[in-house]
Amino acid sequence: MMRWREMLMDYGQMYGEEGGKARSSRSGSSFFSVDGDLLAKRTADLELRRTLETHFRPLFQRFVYGGEKIACHDLRRVLRDPEFRSMLPPDKVHELVDVTDFNMGRSIKYDEFVRIILGHTADDLYSDLGSSEGDSRPEPTCLSNTYRVVCRNTAQQNLLEERAEKYRCLPPPFVMIIITVVQIIMYFWYAAEVDGASVEALDGVPSNSSNNSLMYLPTRRREVWRFFSYSLLHQGIIDLLLTVLIQICVGVPLEMTYSWWRVTLVYIVGVMMGSIGQSVFDRYVGLVGGAGGAYALLGGHMIALFENRKMLNTDETEGRKMHMLCSLPIRFIVLTVILVVQVFLAVYRRWLMDEISLKIGICAHVGGFIAGLIMGPAFLKDPNLMPWRLGSSGILDFFLVLAVVGASIIFNIVYSDYPPEDFTPLSEFQGAF
């Protein structure tokens, strides 16, 4: 212990001598300016904050019990590393050593760590910098302002601010746009082919089309692509519009914030969970609609909203009305209304609407939403935390999804009370069952 503290004292004295020389040379200058010194300090704070984000925050994200924390004995071990120690001011290193010595067996949060190093919280840094005339932040561009508006409440406020300054729309949010365009084209193409270009509110599934090789059918479960391709078809224009609304208003901002591969993975898992849920719990009914993927994004976004609720919508500089309209309760209410309306229409078509051309299941909504609740905390909560990192549940989520898929495959093989298999070649298949 004594050797450890003596090493820190030597480090502090060496740093202090160098700093003293720099201060004396600066104070001796006839051009010394208080404003310039203040600006230099604020710039140094910003650089130190970026160092903390890059090198120290990932250490706090590895906490095994979740949250951005680190055990005091682990932090003490980090401070013994010369590389990490050289990134911090010596006086703050001594303060952290005292904190770890008197709190052994406990943990320290990342925000508390930042407060010790900088003297303020992570969220206060930019507001402090913005209060001076020498603000070192770059001027907001049209693209960064658009990003702030579109991606509001998709991640923590301080992370959105940092990403907004660096956002270049490369690549653009192409996944959700491509999926949505394909779904719209497929709907009107099938509607024109089957019903003579008619568009109906709650019906219109291409049940009699000779080209119907996409929708999930319990009589053709051996055609594996149907467990995914059903998401490109929709039963009625209302179902299509509600799915498109979720994908554009929720999916596009999430893709801009978390990157295309995270959103794509969550979407595909939602589509798959919806179809395998249909094959297990509603075995005599087919399935169409993009609700599986859309509700996976919706469920993941809602669980991330709840877990990040204390760090969202923290911009106090905007007007009161705008702050209220962007509040989390309002966002939850709007998303819940969309969810309830689409689920009600699905239940109505499945059990209450007798004049419909083909019964369609609702398991895509439930399975997709459950998939979002599982995948959301790892993939749609923190864009800086990779799902496979130690502090994330991404690996556990993958194993859980694989376990569900494996159990469903075994059920499909073993269970015998399914409709008889249809072995009609696709060229002759008419889609009815």
Q: Tell me: the pLDDT tens digits for 118-135?
A: 765 444 444 443 444 344
Structure tokens belonging to residue 87: 């990134």
How does the average pLDDT of the chain come out, rounded? 77
Please tell me the predicted confidence (pLDDT) of residue 98.
78
Residues 126 and 187 in one domain: no
Please tell me the predicted confidence (pLDDT) of residue 194.
61
pLDDT digits (tens, 9 = 90+) for 25-52: 444 444 444 445 556 666 777 888 888 8
Residue after which a domain boundary falls, among 136, 166, 198: 136
Please tell me the predicted confidence (pLDDT) of residue 20.
46
Say whether pLDDT at 431 is over 80: no
Say whether pLDDT at 310 is over 80: no
On whether residue 322 sits in a domain, the answer given is yes
pLDDT digits (tens, 9 = 90+) for 82-98: 888 888 888 888 888 87
Q: Taking the CA of residue 423 as centre, how many other CA atoms within 13 Å lie in the half-sphere pointing to its CB?
A: 0
Residues 113 and 189 in one domain: no
Residues 191 and 294 in one domain: yes
On whether residue 424 sits in a domain, the answer given is no
Task: Report how far Cα 39 is from the mean position of its chain's Cα atoms.
Answer: 35
Look at the alpha carbons of 407, 408, 413, 417 in this order and tell me if their dihedral is positive or negative: positive
Residues 117 and 190 in one domain: no
Q: In angstroms, rounded to a whole number, what is the distance separating the alpha carbons of residues 380 and 301? A: 7
The pTM of this model reads: 0.68
CATH of the domain at 302: 1.20.1540.10
Residue labelled with tokens 């877990």 = 307
Residues 195 and 271 in one domain: yes
Say whether pLDDT at 269 is over 50: yes
On whether residue 81 sits in a domain, the answer given is yes
Residues 41 and 190 in one domain: no
Residues 212 and 132 in one domain: no
Q: In angstroms, rounded to a whole number, what is the distance separating the alpha carbons of residues 372 and 379? A: 9
Which residue would you say has higher pLDDT here, 15 or 102?
102
Residues 181 and 127 in one domain: no
Residues 242 and 354 in one domain: yes
Q: 193 CB contacts (<8 Å, ≥6 apart)? A: 206, 209, 211
Residues 208 and 351 in one domain: yes
On whether residue 336 sits in a domain, the answer given is yes
Q: Which of 111-120, 137-146, 247-256, 403-412 has the lowest mean pLDDT?
A: 137-146
On whether residue 276 sits in a domain, the answer given is yes
Which residue would you say has higher pLDDT here, 426 or 225?
225
Residues 291 and 361 in one domain: yes
On whether residue 150 sits in a domain, the answer given is no
Residues 191 and 113 in one domain: no
On whether residue 426 sits in a domain, the answer given is no
On whether residue 99 sits in a domain, the answer given is yes
Mean pLDDT of 17-30: 44
Residue after which a domain boundary falls, among 136, 156, 182: 136
Which domain range does residue 222 map to? 174-414
Could you give the percent of the chain with pLDDT greater than 70? 74
Residue labelled with tokens 């909504």 = 365
If one counts the domains in the chain, the total is 2
